[in-house]
Amino acid sequence: MRHSTSTSRSRLGSVLDHDTERPVGVPASGHTNGAGATTLITDLPYGPQAAEVARRAVAVALHGAEAGLLDDARLITSELATNAFASGTPPLVLCIDRTNPASGGLGVEITVTDGGCSHPAPSSPQAPGEESESGRGLLIVEALADAWSLTTAAHGTRAWCLLTREVRPSTVSP
């Protein structure tokens, strides 16, 4: 199955080619807001490889970002993609919105949607038992994200989170 990827960028950039799993150059297209916004939307495979494809897409969308933010975004996206595969139905879609506000800093919104699930969203993540091998994904998202939400329904599930980083003033003296 071929996965489709699209971006909206304010300048020439790259997206992930899922056939070769390598970034490829694409011309600028779509909407920009003048604040250095980038949106990457990609289908994720419905299978255990969804998490890896999602992590690679984050690396492309956040190219050049601070390492700590990139690590947090990759981990969160991996957890959301895994949950979508484990609890939802196809299709799985990842959307990454990166903004560079004029005031500085970086904002990243990550959304993973799936075709829905039969059980309601938890009001808050529940800690799994000590011996449990799974069940920590939403706790990780809650710990790392500045804001997050999970909405489940029979016809679609949406997991969303926001990560922000402020520009730190330079500590180098003249």
High-pLDDT (> 90) share of the chain, %: 44
Compute the distance between CA of residue 27 and CA of residue 146 in angstroms, rounded to an integer. 32
- Report yes or no: 103 and 117 within 8 Å, Cβ to Cβ: no
Quick check: is 16 in a domain? yes
Quick check: is 127 in a domain? no
Tell me the two tokens of residue 131: 């011996």
**pLDDT at residue number 57:** 96
Quick check: is 140 in a domain? yes
Task: Tell me the residue range of the domain where 35 lies.
Answer: 5-122+135-165
26: amino acid identity, one letter? V
59-109 pLDDT per residue, tens: 999 998 999 999 999 999 999 999 999 889 999 999 999 998 777 789 999
Q: pLDDT category, 52, cuts 50, 70, 90?
A: very high
Q: How many domains does the chain have?
A: 1
Q: How does the average pLDDT of the chain come out, rounded? A: 75
Higher pLDDT, 167 or 76: 76
Whether residue 1 is predicted with pLDDT greater than 60 in this model: the reply is no
**pLDDT at residue number 152:** 85
Compute the distance between CA of residue 114 and CA of residue 46 in angstroms, rounded to an integer. 9
Quick check: is 170 in a domain? no
Tell me the two tokens of residue 107: 């904002």
Quick check: is 171 in a domain? no
Quick check: is 130 in a domain? no
Tell me the two tokens of residue 34: 């003048």
**pLDDT at residue number 126:** 57
Compute the distance between CA of residue 136 and CA of residue 149 in angstroms, rounded to an integer. 16
Residue appearing with tokens 């056939």? 19
Higher pLDDT, 166 or 58: 58
Strand, helix or coil for residue 162: strand
Tell me the two tokens of residue 109: 């919104």
Q: What is the CATH number of the domain that holds 16?
A: 3.30.565.10
- Report yes or no: 166 and 107 within 8 Å, Cβ to Cβ: no
Strand, helix or coil for residue 60: helix
Quick check: is 89 in a domain? yes
- Report yes or no: 23 and 12 within 8 Å, Cβ to Cβ: no
Quick check: is 96 in a domain? yes
104-145 pLDDT per residue, tens: 789 999 999 999 876 655 555 555 555 545 556 678 888 899
For residue 135, the surrounding DSSP H or E stretch is: none
Record the pTM.
0.70
Compute the distance between CA of residue 122 and CA of residue 120 in angstroms, rounded to an integer. 6
